[in-house]
Amino acid sequence: MTLLVAAVIVHDRAADRVVLIQRGEHAKFGQGMWDLPVGKNEPGEPVTATAVRELYEETGLVVAAESLKVVHVVHAALGVEAPSGYLTVVFATDEWTGEPENREPRKHAQVRWVQVDAVPEEFVRGNGQALRQYLDGVEPQVSPYGWE
């Protein structure tokens, strides 16, 4: 069964910055790497609700599901806790309330605003590509990883 995942790009257009997390030493994968706020879908939950919930759980930011726009889809053949692969729907929004904070310090080293021109290279692969393409204005697309 394919695992469904949601990631969110929170884009402060006025200040030209995005909210990123840095995975901590206890993260299940990508320790020390940067990532988008991201998390797994719960049974019976629409993927937009997953995005809203995970963003709040990880950063404290509140967004309305209606403000989310699909900007990328990552489809990987294999992943952590996903031996049959995962599908990440990457959303973007420029409407939020609150200030980002690290609400899961066991999983994340930090959560903060990062200037668009200073996004780290050490980024979780699929989400990093999704973020770069979004910032470059590339039309939404699907990125397959690990398929023969």
Q: Which of the residue ranges 26-30, 78-82, 84-88 has the most confident prediction, judged by mean pLDDT? A: 84-88
pLDDT at position 84: 81
**Contact criterion met (CB below 8 Å) for 40 and 126:** no
pLDDT at position 85: 86
pLDDT in tens, 11-30: 999 999 999 999 999 888 88
Span of 1-15, 43-57, 72-86, 132-146 with lowest mean pLDDT: 72-86
Please give the Cα distance from 50 to 16 (Å, whole number). Answer: 25
Mean pLDDT of 97-104: 97
pLDDT at position 82: 67
**In the chain, what are the domains?**
3-145 (3.90.79.10)
- For 118, phi then psi, to 5°, come to -125, 25
What pTM value is reported for the model?
Answer: 0.94
Length of the chain: 148
CB-CB neighbours of 127 under 10 Å: 25
- What is the share, in percent, of the chain residues with pLDDT greater than 70? 97
DSSP SS3 for 142: strand
